[in-house]
Amino acid sequence: MADFRHHLTLYLRLLGAQIRSQGAHRTSFILDALGSLLITAAEFAALALVLPRFGGLGGWTLGEICLLYGLAELAFVLMDILFGGFDAPNLSAHVRSGSFSTFLLRPAPLTLQVFASDFALRRIPRVLLAAAIAGYGLTHAPLAAGPETAALLTAAVLGMICFFGGLFVIGGTLTFWTVDSVEAMNVLTYGGRTLISYPMDIYSAWLRRTFTYLIPAAFLSYLPALHLLGRPLPDGLPDWAALIGPLAGPLVLAAAFAFWRVGVRHYQGTGT
Amino acid sequence: MTTTPAPPTGGHVSRLSRLALPWAVSRLGFQRQFAYPQAALWGLITNSFFGLLRVAVLLALFGTRPQVAGYTPQDAITYTGLTQAFIMAFSLFGWFDFMRVIHRGEVTADLLRPASLLGFWAAQDAGRALGQLALRGLPMLLIFQVIWGLNWPPGPLAWAQVVLSVLLAWGCGFLFRFLVNCAAFWSPDAVGFGRFAWAVLGLGCGFLMPLAFFPEWFRALLAWTPFPAMLNTTVELWVGVTGGAAAWAALGTQLGWTVALLLACHVTLRAGLRRLEVAGG
């Protein structure tokens, strides 16, 4: 317990240093934050502005889509803030420049240092926007208010943070071996985020099934959302699949960290 | 340090040799795109995947409707294929090259060349755009043609108008990107300003959704900006949403914005270089 408290203090202290350095150039920070906010705002506005003309998207109303879109965006941005250090471009830069080796020399846990190495504060406004979109969804979709709904939604967000965090850890670990092919992970991370931002019944069966059974993305928020909206699950899945769905996230994260440990051992083995 | 403005191209330089430098620069810009074939392949795969998702969303929006705002579902697929194909050629996700050169002070070396700075960068970007079109744009159209089938311009006149429109869309887009990059003359925070500008571009040029789908008030607002000229006009000419006299009017609007942005670039560049001189001297 004392160990945990020590690590938490260390993590917060490293974040404090990051926050101070990012706050040094105030105008730059504000413009970057606005630019990052505007990317999400533009993408969402493009959908929200055209929906009235079409009435809905595959039988889903704006409120219901906001629920899916807002939850996915909220979880992804929070994950990005938390796991940014593992993102392949950031980690591969540390590996190439040799600063990763300095991490290994410091008397602090390696994983903790990587966690604290790219804490992008400029994403905070995006979190607020994502929360607002999800909030609109919560108030405009036919959801039953209650502890079960709250618990399932929280589990869905946490599950997605773990899932995409796991993908970032896997992508980052791959940079120990190769720098080029990590781009393929973008299909799963950014592609996966976009994929689950919309009701998955709009995709062709093979695409939906791939991202349900092979890559368990649909379990994270789509199945819980279907359950909360009183819609049947696809492929005749039993209703309880929606309730345990968010667990897919922590499982992916655990597997990712197992892979990370293998990667770190590999890195030390070839180190000079 | 003071910067020497590019020497005026005098009468003793023949017309042909004056074109030799931009030609060489374009060719190098073109060839450079083929240096990392593996990155291009992964880029193509990623773009195809996002194309797949965008097609699914658009088709779900259409539902059983045969036509919305002049677009059939097949037109919407063609729109997606075209926009995915032009991402890299038109640098729709941003372009910071000129900004970097200003920040590093290398712009002074650029000024020593016996060519106009804007012309030099335009030639380089033209080569880059053509390279990306060949490397990523055409394969993307081929992928879309194989999977969903595309609608193609109906005849020689439509083809000519589309080709003209692509050139103007590139010109307009390049000048806008160049103008945004000029912010680096005044501010060390130009990267953030650039990200902001690219986000506006993505929505305004019709990359995220066909502009015809937007509400009237929003389209009226965009009509006062150069953004539709940077992509949407080309798409509408290709799928035939714009035709007849309206096609020529659309091309005229594109030309008008290109000229306006060219003037804006000249004025801004002159002011920026003067500032560079003051700061350096």
pLDDT at A208: 95
pLDDT tens digit string along B50-83?
999 999 999 999 998 999 999 999 999 999 999 9
Question: Taking CA atoms, what residue in B is nearest to A181?
Answer: B42
**DSSP string for A55-106:** S-BTTB-HHHHHHHHHHHHHHHHHHHHHHGGGSHHHHHHHHHHTHHHHHHHS
pLDDT tens digit string along A50-98?
998 998 898 999 999 999 999 999 999 999 999 998 988 888 888 888 7
Pairwise CB contact (< 8 Å): A31 & B60: no
Question: Taking CA atoms, what residue in A is nearest to B187?
Answer: A28
pLDDT at B71: 96
User: How many A-B residue pairs are in contact by the CB < 8 A criterion?
Assistant: 113
Q: Calculate helix-pair angle for A147-174, A248-270, nearest 10 degrees.
A: 20
B188 touches chain A (CB under 8 A): yes
CB contacts under 8 A, A 45-104 vs B, are 45-47, 49-54, 57-58
**Res B116 pLDDT > 50:** yes
> What's the whole-number mean pLDDT along residues B213-231?
97
pLDDT at A250: 96
pLDDT at A93: 82
Lowest mean pLDDT among A163-172, A261-270, B178-187, B258-267: A261-270
Residues of B in contact with A181 (CB under 8 A): 38, 42
Pairwise CB contact (< 8 Å): A50 & B209: yes
B56 touches chain A (CB under 8 A): yes
B244 touches chain A (CB under 8 A): no
Confidence of residue A270 (pLDDT cuts 50, 70, 90): very low
pLDDT at B217: 96
A151 touches chain B (CB under 8 A): no
- Listed residue (A126, A140, A127, A145) closest to A48, CA to CA: A140
Amino acid in position B86: F
**Res B18 pLDDT > 80:** no
Distance CA A198, CA A196 (A): 5
Amino acid in position B215: P
Distance CA B201, CA B218 (A): 14
pTM: 0.90
Question: Taking CA atoms, what residue in B is nearest to A25?
Answer: B189
> What's the whole-number mean pLDDT along residues A193-214?
94
Distance CA A125, CA A81 (A): 12
**DSSP string for B198-223:** HHHHHHHTTSSS-GGGS-HHHHHHHT
Distance CA B36, CA B41 (A): 9
- Listed residue (B236, B273, B266) closest to B71, CA to CA: B236
Mean pLDDT (chain B, rounded): 90
Six token digits for residue B187:
């501010």
Distance CA B194, CA B180 (A): 6
pLDDT at A179: 65
pLDDT at A33: 86
**Res B40 pLDDT > 90:** no
Instruction: Give buried/exposed letters for A78-108 (b at 16+ CB in 10 A, else e).
Output: bbbbebbbbbbebbbbbbeeeebeebeeeee
Question: Which segment, A142-146, A268-272, B97-101, B257-261, is predicted with the most confidence on average?
Answer: B257-261
pLDDT tens digit string along B254-273?
999 999 999 999 999 999 98
- Listed residue (A133, A122, A137, A26) closest to A80, CA to CA: A122
Six token digits for residue B181:
């990059």
Residue A271, Ramachandran bin (φ over 0: left; ψ between -120 and 50: alpha; else beta): beta
Identify whether the C-beta of residue B131 lies closer than 8 Å to the C-beta of residue B32: yes
Confidence of residue B279 (pLDDT cuts 50, 70, 90): low
**Res B4 pLDDT > 50:** no
pLDDT at B13: 55
Residues of A in contact with B38 (CB under 8 A): 180-181
B94 touches chain A (CB under 8 A): no
Residues of A in contact with B199 (CB under 8 A): 35, 38-39, 41-42
In the DSSP assignment, the letter for residue A178 is -
**Res B3 pLDDT > 60:** no
> What's the whole-number mean pLDDT along residues B152-156?
93
A205 touches chain B (CB under 8 A): no
pLDDT at B144: 97
User: What residues contact residue A209 under an 8 Å CB cut-off, 6+ apart?
Assistant: A235
ipTM of this model?
Answer: 0.89
